[in-house]
Amino acid sequence: MSGKKLRVGIIGAGRIGRVHAESLAFRLPEAEIVAITDINGEAAQALAARCGIPRVAASIDEILGDKSIAAVLICTSTDTHADLIVRAAKAGKHIFCEKPIALELAKIDSALAAVKAAGVQLQVGFNRRFDSNFLRVRQAVASGEIGKPNLMHIISRDPAPPPMTFVRTSGGIFRDMMIHDFDMARYLMGEEVEEIYAAGGVLVEPAFKAEDDLDTAFVVLHFKSGAIGTIDNSRKAVFGYDQRVEILGSKGKIASENRFPNEVVVSGEKSVYTDLPLNFFMQRYTESFTLELQLFVQAVLEGKQTPVTGPDARVPVVMALAARKSYDEHRPVKLTEISS
Amino acid sequence: MSGKKLRVGIIGAGRIGRVHAESLAFRLPEAEIVAITDINGEAAQALAARCGIPRVAASIDEILGDKSIAAVLICTSTDTHADLIVRAAKAGKHIFCEKPIALELAKIDSALAAVKAAGVQLQVGFNRRFDSNFLRVRQAVASGEIGKPNLMHIISRDPAPPPMTFVRTSGGIFRDMMIHDFDMARYLMGEEVEEIYAAGGVLVEPAFKAEDDLDTAFVVLHFKSGAIGTIDNSRKAVFGYDQRVEILGSKGKIASENRFPNEVVVSGEKSVYTDLPLNFFMQRYTESFTLELQLFVQAVLEGKQTPVTGPDARVPVVMALAARKSYDEHRPVKLTEISS
Amino acid sequence: MSGKKLRVGIIGAGRIGRVHAESLAFRLPEAEIVAITDINGEAAQALAARCGIPRVAASIDEILGDKSIAAVLICTSTDTHADLIVRAAKAGKHIFCEKPIALELAKIDSALAAVKAAGVQLQVGFNRRFDSNFLRVRQAVASGEIGKPNLMHIISRDPAPPPMTFVRTSGGIFRDMMIHDFDMARYLMGEEVEEIYAAGGVLVEPAFKAEDDLDTAFVVLHFKSGAIGTIDNSRKAVFGYDQRVEILGSKGKIASENRFPNEVVVSGEKSVYTDLPLNFFMQRYTESFTLELQLFVQAVLEGKQTPVTGPDARVPVVMALAARKSYDEHRPVKLTEISS
Amino acid sequence: MSGKKLRVGIIGAGRIGRVHAESLAFRLPEAEIVAITDINGEAAQALAARCGIPRVAASIDEILGDKSIAAVLICTSTDTHADLIVRAAKAGKHIFCEKPIALELAKIDSALAAVKAAGVQLQVGFNRRFDSNFLRVRQAVASGEIGKPNLMHIISRDPAPPPMTFVRTSGGIFRDMMIHDFDMARYLMGEEVEEIYAAGGVLVEPAFKAEDDLDTAFVVLHFKSGAIGTIDNSRKAVFGYDQRVEILGSKGKIASENRFPNEVVVSGEKSVYTDLPLNFFMQRYTESFTLELQLFVQAVLEGKQTPVTGPDARVPVVMALAARKSYDEHRPVKLTEISS
């Protein structure tokens, strides 16, 4: 089996880089991490030690120049993604890149063009597609189990706002947070959105106002088939990570609940209660991070298309831009207004 | 206790008239049905026999002219409500009237003016307020149990579309069906809506198109506090009556589920399953019909304000008109555009 | 329909008498309460006023002597049941009697003999059979939905112990409390028990010791088919009335949960919680009290067998005696040791 | 960190050996598998390749003779456990051994004596203690969250019977299957059992009769405090692995449900349903297998007591023997009858 192992280089040893490195090292025998690099050399060293990565590269170029490396994982900050994709593509590497590729469409288009020109594979890190709940929902829609989907509601709320330093460079709630849900909407419904109406406000953390950002956002999605979808984002759900979806179809309804740390119910003197749901994405989506990488590795090894493609990387950004425009202009906005 | 009984006349012996007659006759000893009338004399006779009502009146005037009758229940078709309210008010009767008073604001205003002039009590039949689930949700908001409410979602779906003959005179989905949810939105949140954005379509029953009506409707409600609400209406949920609400507040979330005929779960060879939820409003809201009448009777006997007042009767119609306007013009519409 | 009304006399105006009187007066138009009597005349007067009962009889004999009365409800204390059944049967009345008929088999046998001799109908108040949950479980067993039932567990716990004055004359936990569950076991499984092993103790309220009674009791039931059943009784479940059953069959499992006052879930900062289940039998079994009477009235009017027959009245007492004997002798006891 | 790694040898490369090897190789960086052996050399080779184990030892002696190995995992068939423990203890290895150590007490006692004499650590594979549900239940009892525990019910059912060839050498349902639940009972309640009453039968698979074994077993446990516990075992639950527990305490109840592959609910035209629970122990108890090894590794590295000790290995076998004796003699049996 060793002959078929995918040789991988990792760029970025931060939080998400660590998640992916551990998946590759401990769960995915069909991949082998050859080298890792980070502008913070100590972080790269520590992760290499933990995951048995034989080499800490001094630079990104060192990784891109290593002919033995077939694929790279781009786990750096968002503003570097597009440029690194271009460089990696030119170096002939297959690419797994964290979402989003960029906050501006021009940059995304350049990156996608480079990928196409190089003929390499690209997968973007929309990990939620690989959560067992959303996979089951998607399967129900795709198989016709609930008939034609007509109304879809996504709830996606964080337990607490991120630091304002993060908010400042995040691109705003639509491009930073709701981007995952835009992808989920297209994926679950299996069709495209034509128009978006956005609402929102600063309802839970006044500091967002100074950043011209929102802590609460809500959009109505008009799908091409006439189906209606919604996404409900809040930066603060005191009980923990709130990640649910439900779809009403012509033959039934499907709904996914949050995931909890256990299945235990206590009946006390004042209430019947359970522990809180899993607190944040690291706990909730653990398995999805592994599965997305497994499918990436498999797609590259077998020369097949990855499960999250170029348009999958681009369309959610178009949707985010339309949503923000809708919010600013207080009217429904067609996606063709953003990108024809 | 007999000295304190409220003497009631019932106008209309159809489906809802029967529900109210049975509540009064069998559940509410503090009320006494004196007479009933209906344009269908046989229906009135049958209901009188069933509920022990001593007299079937030959006309509405006979009931309004009976000095011994203190209150009337108006259970006729919607187009007669406003006129009957005016006549009953002039006759000095306290009034319980089914929703809505009228489909046009001018008629509602005339009716409310007559009520005010006569100094009688009026309650409109927004029975869902008295469902044990929605009472509990309201209590959580009012008591601060979930903090300030920021995001509210109402799901309200019928098991199957009504006959097209009904649809034709119903006033459309916003005024016929969503009117209950408009009331619920104001009631649960304890605040007013400023602006509405509506979407919808004919997604489940093509016959609605010929009536210029929708079978699926969705609105975004912009509350004065900045909170955002939604209402999701469908004329067809194949699994039964789908009546839920959830609110995210600054200190927690509250959500109500559907009601089921039993609490039994079967684990079979292919799935773990339960029976379907209660099928329609007669099953689901049984207790609320009794409770709303009980509170009406009590309010009249004690000379207190009824729990569903004049503005409660009018505002949902304003909201319904704004919603339809928003749908037609495909833009958010302020309630002040409908009625300042 | 008035010609077919069942004319009923009620003996006993205590708590359960009131429940039955209200069901007959307000829910069951096919019955008519002719008279009521109680050793406490004021209680009888008050109930008559509330339920519109035209006559308060001065004595039981007055009721039994009224030729216009076709059926009596015996709602007095347990020690009087058997004797009243005999008297009512001799007077030719059909009989609805609260459980148990007596605490001793000889008395029960005399009563059943009198019923048989008189050719009247008898129904015993095992109301739980008519609860929507237990009806659904029974239906699943009877229809083969879960295959052959092999393991059955009944949980039946009160929210708090009764007063010790009640405990003293109750006949003990097996005859007073578990008697309902013995009936349920036979009813749900549709077969008879051969042998019982009992365990128990005074675990929650030390005062039971002085009464030679238990506050916690547990039995294993050996059914004739080889199936195994259990009953778990506690006089104290701090969260409320705990009434559940589950059965494992060869083709599946069926389980019923407690009933709650609403279907609302709150997600707070420390837990996800609901209100407590319905507190006690009056709330939980409301509908079953009405349904059992409805079926009694119907059976008598139509001359059919009532749904809870003579053996249904006797066997649970045999089981209770076997259970106590098993507890005392610390060994499994066959029912034939009690009554061949 | 490499200096603190626990060097481990694995004896047995069957199903459970593979589970443990993968945990050590992919999840537990603080351990290092030095060598593996199995009488089936190919199985050992394949597992070594998969998990990156550098050496396949030709014999158990080779592993026990390797001075660099500090601990061994005994993952062979039950009949070899006791002897291997003795040999490993004499070789000075810390020992993790699958349950049970032996089916006869004398063998267990010899093994425990050898462990004691050698001063090595021993942990027995009662993995369910480390399941997140049972950990939560144990915590509730230990912390007083539900007060004093008085009634405990364990449900533990397999999806389908094992092959009869396995049944023949398994030691019977009490020693093979219920042994886990006997451990769980002591662990969750935090106290010892004094007496056991057992019932059971061949209810789902007639082939068990020829093996003088049962496919359905039920025991009542009399705890020293007076608390009552039960265990319900069936070899066949058609809907999947049924692993639940509930405890009624003086201040509340705690109950754990099965674990499901997702949190998705579908409302269809005939029922509201979910997928079946996780099918068997490999899926349900995945995380517990890792956690038990992690705690073993940690205990050995830190020289602390392992979380499952000598008595934990012995008492469940005493209970199993008492249960079988109770079943055979059809009477409650004290544990002191088996081992004083």
Q: Calculate the average pLDDT of chain B.
A: 95
Among residues of chain A, what percentage have pLDDT more than 70? 99
Is B151 part of the contact surface with chain A (CB cutoff 8 Å)? yes
Alpha-carbon distances, residue A117 vs A89, A91, B199 (angstroms): 8, 11, 42
**Amino acid letter, A185:** A
The pLDDT of A302-311, averaged and rounded, is 94
CA–CA dist A91, A59 (Å, integer): 14
Please give the mean pLDDT across all residues of chain D. 95
- Residue C300 is predicted with a pLDDT of 96
Cβ contacts of A50 on chain D, cutoff 8 Å: 29
Q: pLDDT, tens digit, for every residue of A75-106?
A: 999 999 999 999 999 999 999 999 999 999 99
Q: What is the mean pLDDT of chain A?
A: 95
Looking at residue A1, its pLDDT comes to 38
C136 touches chain B (CB under 8 A): yes
- Place D72 in a pLDDT band, splitting at 50, 70 and 90: very high
pLDDT at C271: 97
Query: Is the CB of residue B56 less than 8 Å from the CB of residue B41?
Result: yes
What residue in A sits closest to C236 (Cα-Cα)?
A269
pLDDT of residue D3: 52
Mean pLDDT within D163-168: 92
* Shortest Cα distance, chain B CAs vs residue C136, angstroms: 7
Neighbours of chain D (3+ CB pairs under 8 A): A, B, C
Cis peptide before A100 (omega within 30 of 0): yes
Region A214-238 average pLDDT: 98
Contact A223, B203 (CB under 8 A): no
| pLDDT score recorded for residue C158 | 97
Q: Which two tokens stand for residue A181?
A: 């849900």
Chain A hits for B228, CB-CB cut-off 8 Å, are 199-201, 216, 218
pLDDT score recorded for residue C4:
80
CA angle (C291, C296, C298) in 5-degree steps: 95
> Which of C145, C266, C275 is closest, CB to CB, to B266?
C145
Using the predicted structure, report yes or no on whether residue B218 has a pLDDT greater than 80.
yes
The closest CB to that of A239, out of C237, C268, C274, belongs to: C268
Q: How far is CA B276 from CA B264, B279, C183, D35, in A?
A: 11, 8, 29, 56
**Contacting residues of D for A265, CB less than 8 Å apart:** 254-257
D183 versus B311: the higher-pLDDT residue is D183
Chain D contact for C204 (CB, 8 A cutoff): yes
Cβ distance of D264 and A133 shorter than 8 Å: yes
Reply yes or no on whether the pLDDT at A2 is more than 70.
Answer: no
Low-confidence spans in chain C with pLDDT less than 50: 1-2
CB contact under 8 A, A254 and D264: yes
CB neighbour burial string for C126-159, b if at least 16 within 10 angstroms, e if fewer = bbbbbbbbbbbbbebbeeebbbebbbbbbbbbbb
D232 and C153 within 8 Å at the Cβ level: the answer is: yes
* Extended beta strands in chain B, E state: 6-11, 31-37, 55-56, 71-74, 94-97, 122-124, 149-157, 193-201, 216-223, 228-234, 242-249, 252-256, 264-267, 272-274, 333-334
Report pLDDT digits (tens) over D201-224.
Answer: 999 999 999 999 999 999 999 999
| β-sheet bridge partners, residue C94 | C71
- The pLDDT, as a whole number, for residue C3 is 53
Per-residue pLDDT of D86-127, as tens digits, reads: 999 999 999 999 999 999 999 999 999 999 999 999 999 999
pLDDT at A154 over 50: yes
Rounded Cα distance between C249 and A30, Å, is 44
State the pLDDT at residue B2.
43
Rg of the Cα atoms in chain B: 20
pLDDT at D340: 78
Interface with C, mutate which of D193, D228, D331 (most C CBs under 10 A): D228
As given in the structure block, the two tokens for residue B5 are 């009984």
Nearest to B266 among C26, C27, C252 (CB): C252
CB pairs under 8 A between A and B: 93
Contacts of A179 (CB under 8 A, 6+ apart): A99, A100, A316, A317, A319, A320
pLDDT the model gives residue A282? 87
Q: Name which of C50, C253, C262 is nearest B133 (Cβ-Cβ).
A: C262
Picking from D76, D110, D67, the residue whose alpha carbon sits closest to that of residue D96 is D76
Residue A3 has pLDDT above 80, yes or no: no
Interface test with A, best of D23, D264, D273 (most A CBs within 10 A): D264
pTM exceeding the 0.90 threshold for the entire prediction: yes
For D163-185, what is the mean pLDDT? 94
State the smallest CA–CA distance between residue C27 and chain A in angstroms.
33
Q: Encoding tokens for residue D206? A: 């007639």
Min Cα–Cα distance to chain B from A203, Å: 7
Asked if C216 is an interface residue toward chain D (Cβ–Cβ < 8 A), one would say yes
A151 vs B228: CB contact, 8 Å cut-off? no
Is B165 part of the contact surface with chain C (CB cutoff 8 Å)? no
Residue type, D268: G
DSSP class of residue C23 equals I
Residues of A whose CB is below 8 A from C269: 238-239
Q: How much is the average pLDDT of B312-340?
A: 96
The two three-digit tokens of residue A68, written as one number: 């033995």
Q: Report the chain C residue with the minimal C-alpha distance to residue B258.
A: C263
Inter-chain CB proximity D253 and A266 less than 8 Å:
yes
If one compares A27 and D239, the residue with the highest pLDDT of the two is: D239
DSSP calls for C87-106? HHHHTT-EEEEPSPS-SSHH
Q: Which residues of A touch C277 (CB under 8 A)?
A: 267, 272
Rounded mean pLDDT of A148-176?
95
- Burial class for C74, CB neighbours closer than 10 Å (0-12, 13-18, 19+): buried
Report the residue from C239, C267, C268 with minimal CB separation from A272: C239
Q: Is the pLDDT of residue B240 over 80?
A: yes
Render pLDDT for B191-214 as a digit per residue (tens, 0 to 9). 999 999 999 999 999 999 999 999
